[in-house]
Amino acid sequence: MNEKGTKKKKIVISDKVWLLISLLAALLVWYLLSIGEATGRSFPFADKVVPSVKTMIDRGAFWKDIASSMTCVGIGFGLGFVTALPVAFLMAWYLPIQKIIEPWINFIRNIPALAYAPLLVITFGVGQKPAVILIWICTFMTMSITIYQGIKNIDVTLIKAARVLGANDFDIFLKIICPATVPFIITAIRLGLGAALTTLLAAESTGAQAGIGMRIRSLSNSFESAPMLMYIILLGIIGLVLLKIVDMIERKLTGWQEKIN
C-alpha cells in the first residue's frame, strides 16, 4: 500500500472546494426530489422556490415575518441570557438554590415547548407576548444549566493560586471565575440560539400575526409548497448566520483556550 501511495500523487482539496462540492450534491438531491412524482409536490426546485421570495415581498409578508420572528428570538433570547447568567452563578454559589432549582430546570427542559405553549396563551393572550415568553423559558433553561456546569468545572487550583497571590473574594469572582466561565457562556449562547430557533415554531403557534413559524403554518394550510420551502430554508440560513457570529465572538474572546483536536 505504501508503494502505491508514493506513486500516486495525493490531491489536496481545499475547504472551499469541499463546500462547493457539498452544495452541488445537495442541489442534485433537491433536483431529484423535485422530479419525483410524489416528492415533487413538497419539494419544488430552486427555480420555483427562489422567485417565491418576490411573491412574499409583494404580498407584504416577507420582511414583516423576518422582523417579527427576529424580534421574538432577540427579546426572548436576551431575557433568557440575562436571567440565566445570575441564576447559574447563584446555583454554583449557594447549594440550597441549586438543590431546589436544578431538578425543575431539568424536568421542564425535556418537555417540548409546543406542549405548554397553549397554557401561556391562556395567561398572556395571543400575539408576540406569549411567543417571547416561551422562547425566554426555553433559552433560560438551556443556558442556565450550561453556565452552571461550567462554573462548577472551574479548576480549584486556579482559585487557590489567586488566593495565595492576595486576591480577595471580589477579585476571585472578577478575575478568575468570570474569565474562566467565558468559554461556557459562549457554549451556552450557541445552545441557547439553537433552542430559540427550534422553539420559534411552537412560539408562533400562539396566534402570532406574522413570523416565519406562523407563515410556514399558514402556507401549509393553502398547500403553497414553494414559499413554504423557501421559509424553511430561510430558517436554516438564519441559524447558520447566527452561529457564525458566535464563532467569531468566540475566537475573539477565548483564543487563549487549549483546543483538543
Residues numbered 101 to 140 that lie near other proteins (CB under 8 A) are none
Q: What angle do CA 17, 254, 242 make, to 5 degrees?
A: 55
153 forms part of the interface with other proteins (CB under 8 A): no
Other CB atoms within 10 A of residue 182 CB:
16
CA distances from 119 to 68, 76, 125, 206 (A): 22, 17, 10, 10
Cell readout for 188 is 451556552
Torsion of CA 245, 248, 253, 257, to 10 degrees: 120
DSSP category for residue 1: -
179 forms part of the interface with other proteins (CB under 8 A): yes
169 forms part of the interface with other proteins (CB under 8 A): no
Q: Which helix (H) or strand (E) holds 216?
A: helix 212-221
Q: How far is the CB of 137 from other proteins (least distance, A)?
A: 32
Residues numbered 202 to 261 that lie near other proteins (CB under 8 A) are 254-258
161 forms part of the interface with other proteins (CB under 8 A): yes
6-14, 52-60, 69-77, 158-166 -> range binding other proteins (CB under 8 A): 158-166
180 forms part of the interface with other proteins (CB under 8 A): yes
Contact indicator for 205, 247 with CB cutoff of 8 Å: no
23-31, 106-114, 162-170, 192-200 -> range binding other proteins (CB under 8 A): 162-170
Q: How far is the CB of 165 from other proteins (least distance, A)?
A: 4
Residues near other proteins (CB under 8 A): 155, 157-158, 160-167, 171, 175-176, 179-180, 182, 254-258
